[in-house]
Amino acid sequence: MSAWDLLPLSRGRARAAGTVLVSAVLVLSACQPLGEGEESAAASEPAASGATGDGGDAQRLSIATGGTGGVYFPLGGGLAELITENIEGYTATAEETNASVDNMNLIGSGQSDIAFVLGDTASDAAAGTGEFEGGAIDACAIGILYTNFTQLVASADSGITTVADLEGKRVSVGEAGSGTETIGLRVLEAAGIDPDEGIERAQLGVAETVDALRDGTLDAGFWSGGLPTGALVDYASTGDMVIVPTAEYAPDLQEQYGDYYLESEIPADTYENQAEAVQVIGVPNVLVVSTNMDEGLQEQLTALLFEHKDDLVAVHPAAEELDQETAGDVPFMDVCPGAQTFYGS
């Protein structure tokens, strides 16, 4: 059993205390959702300045991740544990969120210090376009982490094998405020399908999407995540999961939005009962912080990713893609000064 198989598939925005065990190598302390009510002291006073507090007390860094059925959450927990163990004066907590759009807003509001974000969403946020029209977020990139694959999954009984087949079907485009929603809507529009009128639209996370596919209340759902995604591993084992190709729309999305939309491939046998490779749209993930974060802390965070890469791989295999030689090449937003120092640029 791998690390991500141990994660719970429940969702919710209520605050949860405790510890999440994700591997024999790393114990991920304090992975919890951001509360919707009163902010915690750490959320209202983010520890981005680099101070270590009165009397040497450690400052808490909040890491915005995603849902428990995806990849951001376990990797965020792994990163939180590494920060707590290796960066003097800091502890860190991974927070369950609705992912990319939500995460950039949390960086902008100061409720989170570090965030996992899809490249297209990060670009929009930095430029003040798309969901962030007129409200650019002051953020910079620590570096590119790994590729998110657009995994449009359908039940075998639905008969869906192409994006065009989604017309008139019950389809989840991802949670509101997620990077999955952004790319799901853009793929539908590229295929000539109105996301509001052309489908019966739902807004579900990956775990809820799998539940709805199983009980027959949904025909298909978008998910943008690393390989493999735990919730989809579980669904694929039933033999009912079909992965729908999306790569044909990558050139249209590149032309309209940017070069971060890539023609990628989900290799054969990534999931059980998946005998052939599937051509899909890929988007790079970036680790993002506020431009207000102390440059020394930015540099330490960057170094941590690569000095402890094996520990992150033990949490989730998507971290295998971490590459120090290319991580600092982020064409769609500024790389943090402290990260630039680490990369030697």
The amino acid that residue 326 corresponds to is T
pTM of the model: 0.79
Residue pointed to by tokens 């769609």 = 332
Q: What is the percent of the chain with per-residue pLDDT over 70, rounded to a whole number?
A: 83
Distance CA 170, CA 168 (A): 7
Q: How is 21-68 classified by DSSP, letter by letter?
A: E--SS-EEET-EEPPSSSPPHHHHS---S----GGGPPEEEEEE---T
3-class DSSP state for residue 19? strand
For the CA atoms of the chain, what is the radius of gyration?
19
DSSP-assigned letter for residue 279: E
The pLDDT assigned to 45 comes to 41
Q: What is the DSSP letter of 290?
A: E
Stronger pLDDT, 276 or 23, i.e. the higher one: 276
Q: Each residue of 47-66: pLDDT tens digit?
A: 444 433 343 588 999 999 99
Maximal C-alpha separation, the chain: 63
Domains and CATH numbers, the chain: 3-145+288-343 (3.40.190.10), 149-283 (3.40.190.10)
pLDDT (tens digit, 9 = 90+) per residue, 199-232? 999 999 999 999 999 999 999 999 999 899 999 9
3 vs 338: which has the higher pLDDT: 338
